[in-house]
Structure 1
Amino acid sequence: MSPILMMKMEMFNLKENAIWIGGLNIDQLPHILILEKVWTHIWSCKTLSKIKSFLWRACAQCLASGEGLLSRHVSVDPSCLRCGVAVETVDHLLLECLFALASWFGSSIAFLVPASRPLKLYEFLSSWDSLFSQEQRKATETLGMCSFLYWFLWIARNDLVFRKKIWTPSEMFQSAQRAFSKFWAASSPHNQSSYEAPTALSPPSSWTRPPIGSVKINCNIALPTDFQVGGLGIIIQDCQGA
């Protein structure tokens, strides 16, 4: 058991001493206490130490996002600099913004963030229990790849804020995949990563038909540099191209 959990609460006068995490009262963050498996996934994740620290700070709402700075009484516009519509929370930056959605879907993971309700980072991490119970190695590698995508989403955001450099989603997820592939090869020399980044996004020269009795779905997404409006195209065809 954690030494912190073994402490007797009567040692502290909770009425007189506020407990804060990332500048927020801990009563406002019950998931920080309840979901211990989130921290387990973070600290056991096969990734760089700095990315583990980043994920911990992201879940604890300690990042200097627009919302985070405003909560610390820093006079800033908390709106997302990319979409300009939503407040730049950590979850919006990493999972909800159009740039993040395009990056996750375009990556080799091809993760489609649910649109039914906002997805929280700690919920995403806690949901990995089922995958770990089925295929340990694949889950370990995939969670490591996800950690690099989160990290590069943060890098791309900071480049936009401080250097006015605009990354495209493809540049972001290809950079993340290349960095992860190098890390995975160095840490697992006998195992090649399943998430190798392509050298370039080059579509096939001709359409290949699916097997008889199946359909093939081709899709593409287009986003302007200001990410105000985007487009998604989907084509469904059978083996005869109909």
Structure 2
Amino acid sequence: MPNTEKLFIWKACNNILPTTQNLFRKRIVEEPNCPICLHHVESIENAIWKCESMRDVWGLCSMKLQKRSLQNQSFRELVINLMKEVNDEVLIEMAVVAWRLWKRMNELVFQKEFTNPLIILKQTRQKLQDLRLLQSNTSISTARQVGCVEPMNQWKAPPNGHYKINWDAIIDQKKCRMGIGTIIHNWEGQVMCTMRLNKPLFLDPNLAEAYAAPHVVLLRQEIG
């Protein structure tokens, strides 16, 4: 669900939207009635769902939203039930439409403009289509990234009668130190010898590995 609609639904479920009912309780407005019908108190439920002007829009939505009735439910209870009963796409549609209806209410109050239900439906469908496209592109991008990951090189034993020496160096820039690790395997993969060194030296990884090379040679000579 988009962040804008998610935040709006959260505010609606917690009844902290500035409906005229809430504004009236705080003595900010003189009347708690709906700015559209002027007859019913503009509660959260009325502002988003119950008002006849809102029902005109919900009647154009998905079948599961068309037939939904609040009855004695709060908007919060409606959302909880929808989360249990419908799929994500219908839930997102509900959130997008609810946000558009609230936006339309504010446009009426502050700009004296009232958006036709068909325009809201068109805006909602476009938003849902954009979300599907975004999700599809994200899935493709993720699949490509996964497909481009190179598999890690697996260690292979040396030919019969031979030994393999592997070494690496790491650096700690904060402490200005480097560490060297060496391990020697035989042709059966058994560990024959290991060596570790810790020196207050190079901050460059390439120089650290170059410094490690002669120590590896000396180790090989010592074990024969």
Fold conserved between structures, TM > 0.5: yes
Report the structure, 1 or 2, having the larger helix content: 2
- What does residue 169 of structure 1 align with? 117
- SS of equivalent residue, structure 1 residue 77: coil
- What does residue 150 of structure 1 align with? 98
| C-alpha distance after superposition, 1:62-94 (max 9, x if no partner) | 111101111222133221111111011111011
What is the letter of the counterpart of residue 111 of structure 2?
A: R
Aligned pairs (5 A) from 1:184-223: 184-189=132-137
Q: Which has the higher contact order (CA 8 A, sep 6+)?
A: 1
| C-alpha distance after superposition, 1:124-159 (max 9, x if no partner) | 111135436xxxxxx011101111011101111111
Give yes or no for contact 1:96–1:119 (8 Å, CA) kept in 2.
Answer: no
- What does residue 135 of structure 1 align with? none
What is the letter of the counterpart of residue 15 of structure 2?
A: Q
**1:161 to partner: Cα distance:** 0.6
**Distance (Å, rounded) in 2 between the aligned partners of 1:129 and 1:57:** 17
Report the structure, 1 or 2, having the larger strand content: 2
What is the letter of the counterpart of residue 112 of structure 1?
A: K
Aligned pairs (5 A) from 1:30-49: 47-49=1-3
- What does residue 120 of structure 1 align with? 74
Question: Quick one: structure 1 residues 107 and 78, their matched pair in 2 at CA, closer, same or farther if it must change by over 3 Å?
Answer: same
Question: Quick one: structure 1 residues 128 and 113, their matched pair in 2 at CA, closer, same or farther if it must change by over 3 Å?
Answer: closer
The unaligned stretches of length 5 or more in structure 1 are 1-46, 133-138, 192-242
- SS of equivalent residue, structure 1 residue 128: helix
**Distance (Å, rounded) in 2 between the aligned partners of 1:129 and 1:164:** 35
**Distance (Å, rounded) in 2 between the aligned partners of 1:128 and 1:98:** 21
Please say if 1:100 is aligned against 2:54.
yes
Please say if 1:59 is aligned against 2:9.
no
Give yes or no for contact 2:13–2:75 (8 Å, CA) kept in 1.
Answer: yes
- What does residue 78 of structure 1 align with? 32
What is the letter of the counterpart of residue 67 of structure 2?
A: L
| C-alpha distance after superposition, 1:10-62 (max 9, x if no partner) | xxxxxxxxxxxxxxxxxxxxxxxxxxxxxxxxxxxxx2112111111111111
User: What do you get for the CA RMSD once the two structures are aligned?
Assistant: 2.1
- SS of equivalent residue, structure 2 residue 18: coil
Give yes or no for contact 2:20–2:29 (8 Å, CA) kept in 1.
Answer: no
- SS of equivalent residue, structure 1 residue 126: helix
Q: Say how many residue pairs are matched.
A: 138
What is the letter of the counterpart of residue 114 of structure 1?
A: S
Higher CA-based Rg: 2
Sequence identity of aligned pairs in percent? 20
**1:187 to partner: Cα distance:** 2.3
**Distance (Å, rounded) in 1 between the aligned partners of 2:38 and 2:4:** 29
**Distance (Å, rounded) in 2 between the aligned partners of 1:114 and 1:50:** 25
**Distance (Å, rounded) in 2 between the aligned partners of 1:161 and 1:124:** 26
- What does residue 41 of structure 2 align with? 87
**Distance (Å, rounded) in 1 between the aligned partners of 2:24 and 2:53:** 22
